[in-house]
A and B are shown apart, each in its own frame.
Chain A
Amino acid sequence: AQKITQTQPGMFVQEKEAVTLDCTYDTSDPSYGLFWYKQPSSGEMIFLIYQGSYDQQNATEGRYSLNFQKARKSANLVISASQLGDSAMYFCAMSPTSTSGTYKYIFGTGTRLKVLA
Protein backbone atom coordinates (compact mmCIF):
# COMPACT_ATOMS: atom_id res chain seq x y z
CA ALA A 1 0.00 0.00 0.00
CA GLN A 2 1.12 3.52 -0.69
CA LYS A 3 1.34 6.04 2.08
CA ILE A 4 2.65 9.53 2.68
CA THR A 5 3.48 10.62 6.22
CA GLN A 6 3.99 14.18 7.39
CA THR A 7 4.72 14.10 11.10
CA GLN A 8 4.77 17.84 11.73
CA PRO A 9 1.24 19.23 12.00
CA GLY A 10 2.60 22.72 12.58
CA MET A 11 5.91 24.54 12.28
CA PHE A 12 7.16 28.03 13.10
CA VAL A 13 10.11 29.72 11.47
CA GLN A 14 11.59 33.16 11.80
CA GLU A 15 11.52 35.33 8.70
CA LYS A 16 14.67 34.97 6.55
CA GLU A 17 15.60 31.65 8.14
CA ALA A 18 15.46 28.24 6.48
CA VAL A 19 12.96 25.56 7.43
CA THR A 20 12.65 21.87 6.64
CA LEU A 21 9.29 20.16 6.31
CA ASP A 22 9.44 16.42 6.70
CA CYS A 23 7.87 13.83 4.43
CA THR A 24 8.32 10.09 4.40
CA TYR A 25 6.67 7.71 2.01
CA ASP A 26 6.01 4.07 1.47
CA THR A 27 5.48 2.43 -1.88
CA SER A 28 6.18 -0.80 -3.69
CA ASP A 29 6.23 0.87 -7.08
CA PRO A 30 9.69 0.87 -8.68
CA SER A 31 9.12 4.24 -10.29
CA TYR A 32 7.30 7.14 -8.72
CA GLY A 33 7.18 10.88 -8.39
CA LEU A 34 7.21 13.02 -5.28
CA PHE A 35 5.60 16.45 -5.19
CA TRP A 36 5.18 19.32 -2.80
CA TYR A 37 2.23 21.70 -2.87
CA LYS A 38 1.44 24.86 -0.97
CA GLN A 39 -2.12 25.67 0.06
CA PRO A 40 -2.69 29.23 1.30
CA SER A 41 -5.77 30.06 3.34
CA SER A 42 -7.60 30.90 0.12
CA GLY A 43 -7.61 27.20 -0.72
CA GLU A 44 -5.86 26.85 -4.06
CA MET A 45 -3.10 24.29 -4.42
CA ILE A 46 0.18 25.67 -5.74
CA PHE A 47 2.74 23.28 -7.19
CA LEU A 48 6.21 23.87 -5.74
CA ILE A 49 8.60 21.11 -6.72
CA TYR A 50 8.87 17.61 -8.20
CA GLN A 51 11.36 14.77 -7.67
CA GLY A 52 11.43 11.63 -9.75
CA SER A 53 12.46 8.43 -8.02
CA TYR A 54 15.27 7.85 -10.50
CA ASP A 55 16.56 11.38 -10.47
CA GLN A 56 20.14 11.42 -9.31
CA GLN A 57 20.14 14.98 -8.10
CA ASN A 58 17.88 16.66 -5.60
CA ALA A 59 15.34 18.97 -7.19
CA THR A 60 15.56 22.70 -6.68
CA GLU A 61 13.17 25.49 -7.64
CA GLY A 62 14.22 28.91 -6.49
CA ARG A 63 14.01 28.99 -2.69
CA TYR A 64 12.62 25.47 -2.61
CA SER A 65 14.73 22.35 -2.60
CA LEU A 66 13.83 18.75 -2.03
CA ASN A 67 16.12 16.65 0.14
CA PHE A 68 15.52 13.24 -1.42
CA GLN A 69 16.90 10.24 0.44
CA LYS A 70 15.64 7.20 -1.40
CA ALA A 71 17.01 4.58 0.97
CA ARG A 72 15.25 6.29 3.87
CA LYS A 73 12.16 6.94 1.75
CA SER A 74 12.13 10.56 2.68
CA ALA A 75 11.49 13.67 0.58
CA ASN A 76 11.83 16.66 2.82
CA LEU A 77 11.11 20.16 1.56
CA VAL A 78 13.60 22.87 2.43
CA ILE A 79 12.52 26.48 2.16
CA SER A 80 15.39 28.92 2.34
CA ALA A 81 15.12 32.56 3.38
CA SER A 82 11.54 32.25 4.60
CA GLN A 83 9.14 35.03 3.78
CA LEU A 84 5.89 36.03 5.46
CA GLY A 85 4.06 34.93 2.32
CA ASP A 86 5.31 31.40 2.86
CA SER A 87 2.83 30.97 5.71
CA ALA A 88 0.48 28.27 4.45
CA MET A 89 -0.32 24.59 4.56
CA TYR A 90 2.20 22.38 2.79
CA PHE A 91 1.33 18.99 1.37
CA CYS A 92 3.66 16.24 0.26
CA ALA A 93 2.26 13.98 -2.43
CA MET A 94 3.33 10.87 -4.27
CA SER A 95 2.27 9.16 -7.45
CA PRO A 96 3.48 6.06 -9.23
CA THR A 97 4.90 6.80 -12.63
CA SER A 98 2.39 6.05 -15.30
CA THR A 99 3.14 5.18 -18.92
CA SER A 100 -0.10 6.89 -19.85
CA GLY A 101 1.15 10.10 -18.30
CA THR A 102 -1.55 10.16 -15.68
CA TYR A 103 -0.32 10.74 -12.17
CA LYS A 104 -2.66 9.75 -9.39
CA TYR A 105 -1.72 11.57 -6.23
CA ILE A 106 -1.72 10.38 -2.66
CA PHE A 107 -1.40 13.30 -0.28
CA GLY A 108 0.04 13.52 3.19
CA THR A 109 -1.86 15.17 6.03
CA GLY A 110 0.01 18.43 5.62
CA THR A 111 2.17 20.74 7.71
CA ARG A 112 0.99 24.22 8.61
CA LEU A 113 3.90 26.64 8.42
CA LYS A 114 3.81 30.00 10.13
CA VAL A 115 6.54 32.51 9.34
CA LEU A 116 7.19 34.97 12.14
CA ALA A 117 8.24 38.57 11.51
Chain B
Amino acid sequence: GAVVSQHPSRVICKSGTSVKIECRSLDFQATTMFWYRQFPKQSLMLMATSNEGSKATYEQGVEKDKFLINHASLTLSTLTVTSAHPEDSSFYICSARPGRAPVGYTFGSGTRLTVV
Protein backbone atom coordinates (compact mmCIF):
# COMPACT_ATOMS: atom_id res chain seq x y z
CA GLY B 1 0.00 0.00 0.00
CA ALA B 2 0.89 3.66 -0.22
CA VAL B 3 3.44 4.75 2.35
CA VAL B 4 4.49 8.18 3.49
CA SER B 5 7.72 8.22 5.45
CA GLN B 6 8.38 11.07 7.83
CA HIS B 7 11.68 11.75 9.59
CA PRO B 8 12.72 12.31 12.25
CA SER B 9 10.06 10.87 14.51
CA ARG B 10 11.35 12.84 17.48
CA VAL B 11 13.68 15.79 17.74
CA ILE B 12 14.85 18.00 20.56
CA CYS B 13 16.52 21.25 19.69
CA LYS B 14 17.69 24.36 21.43
CA SER B 15 15.89 27.67 21.13
CA GLY B 16 17.10 29.66 18.18
CA THR B 17 18.16 26.72 16.06
CA SER B 18 16.44 25.37 12.96
CA VAL B 19 14.97 21.93 12.47
CA LYS B 20 14.18 20.20 9.18
CA ILE B 21 11.47 17.57 8.90
CA GLU B 22 11.26 15.36 5.82
CA CYS B 23 8.17 13.82 4.29
CA ARG B 24 8.64 11.24 1.52
CA SER B 25 6.11 9.33 -0.53
CA LEU B 26 7.81 5.96 -0.94
CA ASP B 27 5.83 4.24 -3.65
CA PHE B 28 3.87 6.97 -5.34
CA GLN B 29 4.34 10.47 -6.64
CA ALA B 30 2.76 13.34 -4.78
CA THR B 31 2.48 16.71 -6.46
CA THR B 32 0.74 17.97 -3.37
CA MET B 33 1.51 17.30 0.24
CA PHE B 34 0.00 18.81 3.36
CA TRP B 35 1.62 19.79 6.62
CA TYR B 36 -0.36 19.72 9.86
CA ARG B 37 0.35 20.69 13.42
CA GLN B 38 -1.24 19.01 16.40
CA PHE B 39 -1.06 20.28 19.97
CA PRO B 40 -1.48 17.77 22.80
CA LYS B 41 -5.00 16.37 22.97
CA GLN B 42 -6.14 18.64 20.19
CA SER B 43 -7.08 18.23 16.57
CA LEU B 44 -4.89 18.56 13.51
CA MET B 45 -4.60 22.05 12.12
CA LEU B 46 -3.57 22.49 8.51
CA MET B 47 -0.49 24.68 8.25
CA ALA B 48 0.27 24.68 4.57
CA THR B 49 -0.12 22.96 1.25
CA SER B 50 3.15 21.97 -0.34
CA ASN B 51 3.18 22.05 -4.14
CA GLU B 52 5.91 20.38 -6.17
CA GLY B 53 7.90 22.91 -8.13
CA SER B 54 6.11 25.95 -6.78
CA LYS B 55 5.59 27.94 -3.62
CA ALA B 56 3.69 26.50 -0.74
CA THR B 57 0.28 27.85 0.19
CA TYR B 58 0.06 28.79 3.84
CA GLU B 59 -3.05 28.90 5.97
CA GLN B 60 -4.05 32.11 7.63
CA GLY B 61 -1.99 32.83 10.72
CA VAL B 62 0.93 30.58 9.79
CA GLU B 63 4.23 32.44 9.50
CA LYS B 64 5.80 31.72 6.13
CA ASP B 65 9.25 32.81 7.21
CA LYS B 66 9.17 30.63 10.26
CA PHE B 67 7.87 27.47 8.66
CA LEU B 68 9.75 27.06 5.40
CA ILE B 69 8.39 24.46 3.02
CA ASN B 70 10.25 23.05 0.07
CA HIS B 71 8.78 20.52 -2.36
CA ALA B 72 11.66 19.94 -4.70
CA SER B 73 10.61 16.60 -6.13
CA LEU B 74 7.49 14.51 -6.62
CA THR B 75 8.37 12.38 -3.62
CA LEU B 76 9.84 14.78 -1.09
CA SER B 77 8.57 17.75 0.87
CA THR B 78 10.46 19.32 3.74
CA LEU B 79 9.32 21.57 6.57
CA THR B 80 11.98 23.66 8.27
CA VAL B 81 11.15 25.31 11.56
CA THR B 82 13.47 28.29 11.69
CA SER B 83 14.69 29.99 14.86
CA ALA B 84 12.66 27.58 16.92
CA HIS B 85 11.11 28.65 20.21
CA PRO B 86 9.51 26.58 22.97
CA GLU B 87 6.04 27.54 21.70
CA ASP B 88 6.89 25.75 18.43
CA SER B 89 7.02 22.48 20.35
CA SER B 90 4.31 20.33 18.84
CA PHE B 91 3.51 17.25 16.78
CA TYR B 92 3.99 17.88 13.06
CA ILE B 93 2.53 15.47 10.54
CA CYS B 94 2.48 15.42 6.77
CA SER B 95 0.11 13.76 4.34
CA ALA B 96 -0.21 12.97 0.67
CA ARG B 97 -2.72 11.16 -1.47
CA PRO B 98 -1.88 8.30 -3.78
CA GLY B 99 -3.83 8.57 -6.99
CA ARG B 100 -6.72 10.84 -7.93
CA ALA B 101 -9.66 8.92 -6.52
CA PRO B 102 -11.24 10.51 -3.46
CA VAL B 103 -9.82 7.99 -1.06
CA GLY B 104 -8.22 8.98 2.17
CA TYR B 105 -4.88 10.62 2.36
CA THR B 106 -1.88 8.71 3.65
CA PHE B 107 -0.21 10.30 6.62
CA GLY B 108 3.34 10.14 7.81
CA SER B 109 4.02 8.89 11.29
CA GLY B 110 4.57 12.41 12.58
CA THR B 111 7.43 14.28 14.22
CA ARG B 112 7.42 15.25 17.87
CA LEU B 113 9.38 18.49 18.14
CA THR B 114 10.53 19.71 21.52
CA VAL B 115 12.30 23.05 21.74
CA VAL B 116 14.25 23.62 24.97
Contact = CB atoms under 8 A, between A and B. Distances in A.
Interface of A: 33, 35, 37, 42-50, 52, 91, 97, 101-110
B102 interface: yes
Contact of A105 (B91, B103, B105, B106): B105
B100 to A, nearest CB: 5
Contact of B104 (A35, A42, A97, A108): A35
B4 to A, nearest CB: 9
Contacts of B93: 43-45
Interface residues of B, number: 23
Given A43-B112, A45-B95, A109-B42, A102 B49 contact: yes
A108 B49 contact: no
A105 B100 contact: no
A42 B91 CA distance: 11
Given A43-B110, A46-B107, A105-B46, 4 more contacts: A44-B93, A52-B102, A107-B44, A109-B42
A103 B43 contact: no
A33 B43 CA distance: 18
Nearest to A98: B102
Closest 7 A/B residue pairs (Cβ): A47-B104, A45-B107, A43-B110, A107-B43, A44-B109, A101-B100, A107-B44
Given A45-B95, A102-B32, A109 B43 contact: yes
Contacts of B104: 35, 37, 47-50
18 contacts: A35-B104, A37-B104, A43-B93, A44-B107, A44-B108, A47-B104, A48-B104, A50-B103, A52-B102, A91-B44, A102-B49, A103-B102, A105-B44, A105-B46, A108-B43, A109-B42, A109-B43, A110-B43
Contacts of B49: 102, 104
B34 interface: yes
Contacts of A47: 103-107
Contacts of B105: 47, 103, 105
A49 B104 CA distance: 7
